[in-house]
Structure 1
Amino acid sequence: METPFITDEPLLDEAFKQAMRRLATTVTIITTRGADSLPLGMTATAVTSLSAAPPSLLACVNRSTSIHAHLATGTDFCVNLLSEQHHELSSAFGGKVAPAERFGLGGWDLQHLPYLKDAQVNFACTVDGLFEYGTHTIVIGRIHGIRMPGRFAPLLYGDGRFLSTGSQG
């Protein structure tokens, strides 16, 4: 028997949540500085490339997060692509650790724009556009710097758990 599409509004919300668990994605931490110059950060999986000309990406940020108000001002931010050894750091920035204590974990460079020194990749960006949709804001980041210090071993998240590519490269 063929599986039908779920179209009934009361069931669609839950079906959407369950279906999106099947979308494995790279885990990132988005960082910036607050109005008081203290570093801010949050774990994000809704991040993707947007364009190569100009180099840009987009990140979907829930408007209820503490970092949202600062990104909405058009500030610089950094998207740190995590490696498979960063699962505890991801959990900390995902809410398991108080915001004021998060940057005490991991190897951060906090001189200017906060970035994770041993991330797979760091994208330094400036907010170049904002688009509100539902509970989130789509933040368009114009990339003005890239660091690639690590080997290819991304931390992935899918089906409610951390995954690994098993890459040896």
Structure 2
Amino acid sequence: MHHGSIERHLDRETYRKVVGRFATGVVIVTTRVGDVDHAMTVNSFTSVSLDPLLVLFCAEKVARFHDAVLESGVWGVSVLPAGMRDASQFFAHRGRPLNGQLARWPHHRGGSGVALFDAALATVECDTHAVYPGGDHSIIVGAVTGLGMPAEGPPLIYHDGAYKNL
């Protein structure tokens, strides 16, 4: 029985296409070092454990956000609604200025001081629980310290290299 194409090539481009077939939500992870906010768009976010409450995301080691989040030890996750595609694209762009980068999107401070977006479908605040090596990324596991559901609406979805709607 033949089920679709079977690829034997283990190259980066094929890998990207294959894992891109997994539909994900989109989140912006935020942290704060001193009085500077850092933010990064991520689709590698997942729940890990109910006891204790743990989540994880993966941060590319070359990203400025990587060192900032490791230094701060606290971070927030804003699950994006379909209407925040512009923010997702903005915070995915490398090398943008840090000053005032959050000004275009209404946000509030969580208990840990990190920025959380007012239009988010859900927010999670974390203390870093563990960091594991993951090739060119670090796997950052967070112990949940805060939860919220600021807004309602359809989620922003990413599938096959493009934003989609449910």
Provide TM-score, normalisation by structure 1: 0.87
Number of the residue aligned with 1:69 = 67
How is 1:10-159 mapped onto 2 (pairs within 5 angstroms)? Answer: 12-34=11-33, 36-73=34-71, 75-95=73-93, 97-110=96-109, 112-159=113-160
Q: Distance in 2 between matches of 1:100 and 1:91?
A: 17
Q: Which segments of structure 1 move beyond 4 Å, counting only runs of 4 or more?
A: none
Which blocks of at least 5 consecutive residues in structure 2 are unaligned?
none
Which blocks of at least 5 consecutive residues in structure 1 are unaligned?
none
The RMSD of aligned alpha carbons is 1.9
Provide TM-score, normalisation by structure 2: 0.89
Secondary structure of the corresponding residue to residue 102 of structure 2: helix
* 1:144 aligned partner, one-letter code: T
Give identity over the alignment, percent. Answer: 23
Q: Distance in 1 between matches of 2:156 and 2:70?
A: 27
Q: 48-57 or 88-97: which moved more?
A: 88-97
* 1:63 aligned partner, one-letter code: K
State the shift of 1:7 in Å. Answer: 3.1
Report how many aligned residue pairs link the two structures: 162
